[in-house]
Amino acid sequence: DTAVSQTPKYLVTQMGNDKSIKCEQNLGHDTMYWYKQDSKKFLKIMFSYNNKELIINETVPNRFSPKSPDKAHLNLHINSLELGDSAVYFCASSQGTYYGYTFGSGTRLTVV
Amino acid sequence: DQQVKQNSPSLSVQEGRISILNCDYTNSMFDYFLWYKKYPAEGPTFLISISSIKDKNEDGRFTVFLNKSAKHLSLHIVPSQPGDSAVYFCAARTTSGTYKYIFGTGTRLKVLA
């Protein structure tokens, strides 16, 4: 019974396309996140939602739009994909921030 | 500007010996630190944490040490086991604005049988 699940696990798409990555958590956590791990292995926060409300929005192109229909789901939609968007995207959730995050297994996005 | 640095990209240790993973940070406002472990094709999993008001936290084979004056964090694994082979990330919580964690780039640990 996966705590934080992301779909799809792999995504290969052409430049210019629009794609979505879905994330769901069954832990009852109130906060969800999207992180990006680039080719240099930096794990950088992109967005954070607390109870469906956006609380962190790092410097991310506005082609990236998170959507949280409820506190158990946080989806990431990316418009007009570019080569530089190729990375592994991790969804995570937490209840507060003292206990760390529970991460999903990641979505490897490859833009060709 | 990378505020959390793990300067050793990789480390190899014999089974049964001690593994020491290091992490340096630049922001004195960080108040909470975490270590994560990551296996290939999986998300990072939380390992151990330490508050900035402490200098040591222990959980089984894992001990985290914090030296605030040096802005240095280390994770000790004793004894190391082959199953510990993974990438280890340290993360620091910033208190300016909304709480969030800033991650280091990770250290790949290989425990040799």
Q: What is the pLDDT of residues A69-87, one digit of tens each?
A: 998 999 999 999 999 999 9
Give contacts of A 28-67 with B, CB under 8 A.
Answer: 35, 40-45, 48, 55-56
The token duo for B61 is 């084979």
H or E stretch at B64: strand B62-67
Report the mean per-residue pLDDT for chain A.
Answer: 91
> B31-60: b or e for each residue (b if 16 or more CB lie within 10 Å)?
ebbbbbbbeeeebbebbbbbebeeeebeee
Q: How far is B2 from chain A (nearest CA, A)?
A: 9
CB atoms under 10 Å from CB of A28, counted, come to 9
Q: Can you give the pLDDT at residue A100?
A: 80
The token duo for A68 is 């949280």
Structure-token match 């082609």, residue found: A63
pLDDT less than 70: residues of chain B: 1
CB atoms under 10 Å from CB of A69, counted, come to 9
Q: Can you give the pLDDT at residue B27?
A: 87
Q: Can you give the pLDDT at residue A98?
A: 67
Q: Per residue in A17-38, pLDDT tens?
A: 999 999 999 999 989 999 999 8
The token duo for B95 is 């208190």
**For residue A56, what pLDDT band results from cuts at 50, 70 and 90?**
confident
Phi-psi category of residue B3: left, alpha or beta, with phi > 0 → left and psi -120 to 50 → alpha: alpha
Q: Can you give the pLDDT at residue A42?
A: 82
Taking CB atoms and an 8 Å cut-off, how many pairs form between chains A and B? 56
Whether residues A102 and B2 touch (CB distance < 8 A) is answered with no
Q: Can you give the pLDDT at residue A1?
A: 65
DSSP B4-41: EE---SEEEEETTS-EEEEEEE--TT--EEEEEEE-TT
Whether residues A105 and B98 touch (CB distance < 8 A) is answered with no
- pLDDT beyond 70 at A97: no
